[in-house]
Structure 1
Amino acid sequence: MTDTITLSRPVADFHVHVRDGDMMKLVVPTIKSGGVSLAYIMPNLVPPLTSVDDVLAYKSRLEAVDPTITYLMTLYLCPAITPQVIHNAAKAGITGVKCYPAGVTTNSEYGVASYAPYYPTFAAMEQEDMVLNLHGECPSGQHIHVLNAEQEFLPTLKDIHGRFPRLRIVLEHCTSAAAIQAVKDCGPTVAATITAHHLFLTIDNWAGNSFNYCKPVAKFPTDRQALLEAATSGCPKFFFGSDSAPHPITNKEKGQNAAAGVFTQSHAAAYVAEAFDQLGKLDKLDRFLCDFGRQFYKVTPAQDEPSWTVVLKKQQNVVPRLLGQGPSAVAPFKAGETLNWKVEIVDAV
């Protein structure tokens, strides 16, 4: 029985929220403690990151908190992101552009209502080999609700892929069997991230429990099974993106108006190891956490040279009830519960 796993290299997390200001200072140190050395940073700050200078300034603030992490940066898709901005961003080393449908999740009010106006931007991204990250949901309306919003978005994914076949696209945080199949149906330039929390949750876990509420919401047991099968399949189209989303505990306790987001950063690799172990698929863990995402994003050794090793040990690991103190404290996923795996960071001598 495997009780110690040394990863080939630290985890690459291709969907990370760390906010800004005091929340950033609280959360960024947990990136490494979760086993992650490379973090793909989301741009939905307040206000969102819509210029190259804003993104680079934010990266500098992150590096001031922990300079040992590799931060890959993104722009927030909005009318300000013109083809010229894309060309400038590529020169500056910005990796991708995040597309939020307007109003679907946290800080998405500046997002996209129609995709056609952005075709020139997508063409420039294709030319520069930048990545388009899609929050794959349609806004709720007469026939659309949280349980079918992802499925209703999938024709949009396929349409963009058909128009721009060389554009690398990531369908973020898949939650449904339909999304998994759609990614499989697309060509090799389309991939998907799968979170840690969606490997555990179904609708019953968040209905009435705001701490498990996120967007897109967890769905049915058959959908969770499809996510587990994709994550442990060894298919390079599916890799880790935690979508770890810290919110002050006061914003998670608001009942009907609770903030959408689950915080997993501090125990990222341990959560995933737990899920893989339950299926007897620990042999698939390393490539899902460490390899497939780096390959799709074309991360070079020069960009990503972690100075430590991640060892996962099978031992009891109690998740703290809170990170931080007071009303701004953050509740981790499975707070107070005991995991069977623990991350150990071994620094280079």
Structure 2
Amino acid sequence: MTQTLTLRRPDDWHLHLRDGEMLKAVLPETARHFGRGIIMPNLIPPVVTSEDARAYHSRIMAALPEGMTFDPLMVLYLTEGTDPEDVARAHASGLVKAVKLYPAGATTNSNSGVRDFDKVAPVFEKMADIGLPLCVHGEVTDADIDIFDREAVFIDRVLDPIRRAHPNLRVVMEHITTKNGVDYARSGGDTLGATITTHHLIINRNHILVGGIKPHYYCLPVAKREEHRVALVEAATSGEATFFLGTDSAPHTDPNKESACGCAGCFTATNTMSCLAEVFETARALDKLEAFASLNGPAFYGLPVNDSTLTLTKGDPVAYPTHIDSAEGPVTVFDPGFPLHWSVTA
């Protein structure tokens, strides 16, 4: 018997589109299913000022294929030299919807990020005043901290002190990967949200390391123990307003993933909605998928939900492409490791 599920068109609250030829290749994969996306600013050079954001927005819209609709929600890259007044102007213009905090060296193209958090306190104060959210890559980079503990330590050492010092600051804990992250997000009230990625709902660290290194499962933050994946699934399928979808879909060419020092990131834009339907069905929570993918994110950012809808149909396994071709090289599409019976049909 055919099963269908119709929900408001989803949004992606954490998305990497890159630039140039890669942007042209991957943007249609997101715009096919998603209405909006919070666009990560870690380009080279990064999107630091309002003018940078305006120029990047124009390049995204120029790359959008004819007949497709997509609204890129722009984000500024926080540096120790960021001007609070420029941030306020960018927000007032309606163009910029958030500011992104990268601890320096934490992930791809993060070397321009923050080392001394006290230096960006004036930006936090301004953002709290104007209601502009701070998106946080929540990992410390101290050499003496185990990579699997970076998120938990960041919450204790960095995030909680920032939120205590700036209690009105709206914060999104991006791509949480641990039960620690789930528990802290739940404790934060209306000013704290958390995104969860598609791949962290599906893989644990065994997928990366058992039976040989699997570079296309390597991401940052790195996938953790199974108990943490289970906690993420429970949070995502709970329907709680705190948790919403941010795929962190991150395209890298295969040579850059499969090298001696492979890049971090999973490219999930193509098949995310099918993957999520499988995860939510397994958790007996298909009725909560709309909240996670389509409702909770807009509510946190103070935006209306999308007017249009998306319909998923369950049937024979869907054959997604293994790669997306770009002028820079092939990009491997995330393989969940199980058949995908749900497909987007309308």
Is 1:209 aligned to residue 211 of structure 2?
no
**Does the CA contact (< 8 Å) of 1:319 and 1:337 recur in 2?**
no
Alpha-carbon separation, structure 2, partners of 1:320 and 1:295: 33
- Pairwise CA RMSD: 1.6
**Does the CA contact (< 8 Å) of 2:133 and 2:169 recur in 1?**
yes
Displacement of 1:79 in angstroms is: 2.4
**Does the CA contact (< 8 Å) of 1:318 and 1:337 recur in 2?**
no
Which residue of structure 1 lines up, in the alignment, with residue 323 of structure 2?
Answer: 322
Displacement of 1:266 in angstroms is: 1.2
**Does the CA contact (< 8 Å) of 1:100 and 1:135 recur in 2?**
yes
Is 1:278 aligned to residue 282 of structure 2?
yes
Alpha-carbon separation, structure 2, partners of 1:325 and 1:60: 20
After the TM superposition, which residues 41-52 of structure 1 pair with which residues of structure 2 at under 5 Å, given as runs?
41-52=39-50
Which residue of structure 2 lines up, in the alignment, with residue 249 of structure 1?
Answer: 254
Which residue of structure 2 lines up, in the alignment, with residue 122 of structure 1?
Answer: 124
Which residue of structure 2 lines up, in the alignment, with residue 179 of structure 1?
Answer: 181
Which residue of structure 1 lines up, in the alignment, with residue 11 of structure 2?
Answer: 12
Alpha-carbon separation, structure 2, partners of 1:74 and 1:283: 31
Change (3 A) 1:97 1:326: closer
Q: Which amino acid aligns with 1:238?
A: F
Aligned length: 337
Determine which of 235, 250, 257 is the counterpart of 2:240. Answer: 235
**Does the CA contact (< 8 Å) of 1:106 and 1:260 recur in 2?**
yes
* Unaligned stretches of 5+ residues in structure 1: none
**Does the CA contact (< 8 Å) of 2:318 and 2:339 recur in 1?**
yes
Which shows bigger deviation, 172-181 or 79-88?
79-88
**Does the CA contact (< 8 Å) of 1:247 and 1:259 recur in 2?**
yes
* Unaligned stretches of 5+ residues in structure 2: none
Determine which of 79, 94, 97 is the counterpart of 1:95. Answer: 97
Alpha-carbon separation, structure 2, partners of 1:31 and 1:161: 32
Is 1:287 aligned to residue 259 of structure 2?
no
**Does the CA contact (< 8 Å) of 1:81 and 1:121 recur in 2?**
yes
Which shows bigger deviation, 271-280 or 170-179?
271-280
Q: Which amino acid aligns with 2:258?
A: E
Q: Which amino acid aligns with 2:91?
A: A
**Does the CA contact (< 8 Å) of 1:318 and 1:336 recur in 2?**
no
Q: Which amino acid aligns with 1:101?
A: P
Displacement of 1:326 in angstroms is: 7.2
Q: Which amino acid aligns with 1:73?
A: M
Question: Tell me, what secondary structure is at the counterpart of 1:266?
Answer: coil
**Does the CA contact (< 8 Å) of 1:319 and 1:334 recur in 2?**
no
Question: Tell me, what secondary structure is at the counterpart of 2:146?
Answer: coil
Alpha-carbon separation, structure 1, partners of 2:327 and 2:189: 48
Displacement of 1:2 in angstroms is: 7.5
Determine which of 260, 266, 270 is the counterpart of 2:270. Answer: 266
**Does the CA contact (< 8 Å) of 2:207 and 2:214 recur in 1?**
yes
Displacement of 1:248 in angstroms is: 0.8
Alpha-carbon separation, structure 2, partners of 1:252 and 1:17: 16
**Does the CA contact (< 8 Å) of 1:50 and 1:78 recur in 2?**
yes
Q: Which amino acid aligns with 2:244?
A: F
Which residue of structure 2 lines up, in the alignment, with residue 30 of structure 1?
Answer: 29
Alpha-carbon separation, structure 2, partners of 1:334 and 1:242: 14
Alpha-carbon separation, structure 2, partners of 1:334 and 1:225: 19
Alpha-carbon separation, structure 2, partners of 1:181 and 1:243: 21
**Does the CA contact (< 8 Å) of 2:21 and 2:328 recur in 1?**
no
